[in-house]
């Protein structure tokens, strides 16, 4: 699923990387993504009906994901923010969705989309919070095109879980009066379980 998503992003990534710095780091990353997409088209395995496992070998244990989501909601509720918390794995699949008391119906979608933005675009563009993409929107004339991709949302409110410096999932929050406030709660949830992740 993640590989298909990144293949769909190739035209947008190409526009963005043409205007990056001279060091070539981002272009190398683009080239790798392009190579994987081409390989998937010509490989017999790509014709299989069942998707192949992703290249990410670590998935958050359910109790860890659940505790992070509960802590994020608890922190928001102490400030009278009524939110939903969503944890996604690196395939963009939900592991936990918790709708807090009094949270409104749209909060589930916004929390999911913020987390989706982190797990799908964060590794490509070097951010581990959805506020990173929000800032990128201000500085790159091409980044706004990425915001039109299905389920991407250019608002703060999601924070990555990381193992050995690599993103392995994300916790998104929706419902506080401002994405920056959502992101504070998300960060609290991730911090709560940080010592339970591999180091």
Locate the domains of the chain by residue range: 2-47, 62-196
> Distance between the two ends of the chain, CA-based, in angstroms?
27
Go through 63-81 and write b for each residue having 16 or more CB atoms within 10 A of its CB, e for each that does not: ebbbbbbbbbbebbbeeeb
pLDDT tens digits for 112-124? 999 999 999 999 9
Burial class of residue 20 (count of CB atoms within 10 Å of its CB; 0-12, 13-18, 19+): middle
CATH of 62-196, one of 1.10.357.10, 3.90.1150.10, 3.30.450.150, 3.40.30.10: 3.30.450.150
Q: Which of the four pLDDT bands, split at 50, 70 and 90, describes residue 74?
A: very high
Q: Which of the four pLDDT bands, split at 50, 70 and 90, describes residue 50?
A: very low
Tokens of 55: 């290249």
Q: For residue 66, what pLDDT is reported?
A: 99
Rounded to whole angstroms, the Cα distance separating 146 from 140 reads 11
Rounded to whole angstroms, the Cα distance separating 179 from 78 reads 17
Q: Which of the four pLDDT bands, split at 50, 70 and 90, describes residue 24?
A: very low
Task: Flag whether pLDDT at 181 surpasses 90.
Answer: yes
Q: How many alpha carbons lie under 13 Å from residue 11 in its C-beta half-sphere?
A: 4
Q: Which of the four pLDDT bands, split at 50, 70 and 90, describes residue 142?
A: confident
Decide: 92 and 197 in contact? Cβ < 8 Å. no
């Amino acid at each position: 699923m993640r590989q298909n998503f990144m293949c769909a992003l190739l035209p947008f990534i190409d526009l963005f990387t043409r205007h990056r710095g001279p060091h070539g780091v981002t272009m190398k990353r683009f080239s790798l993504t392009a190579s994987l997409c081409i390989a998937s088209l010509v490989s017999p395995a790509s014709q299989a009906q069942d998707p192949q496992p992703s290249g990410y070998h670590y998935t958050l244990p359910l109790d860890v994901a659940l505790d992070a989501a509960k802590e994020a909601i608890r922190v928001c509720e102490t400030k009278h923010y009524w939110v939903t918390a969503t944890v996604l794995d690196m395939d963009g699949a939900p592991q936990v969705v918790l709708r807090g008391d009094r949270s409104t119906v749209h909060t589930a979608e916004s929390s999911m989309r913020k987390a989706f933005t982190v797990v799908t675009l964060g590794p490509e563009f070097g951010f581990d919070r959805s506020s990173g993409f929000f800032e990128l929107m201000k500085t790159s004339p091409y980044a706004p095109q990425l915001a039109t991709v299905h389920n991407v949302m250019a608002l703060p409110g999601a924070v990555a879980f990381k193992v050995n410096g690599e993103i392995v999932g994300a916790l998104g929050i929706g419902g506080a009066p401002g994405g920056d406030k959502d992101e504070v709660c998300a960060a609290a949830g991730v911090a709560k379980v940080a010592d339970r992740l591999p180091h």
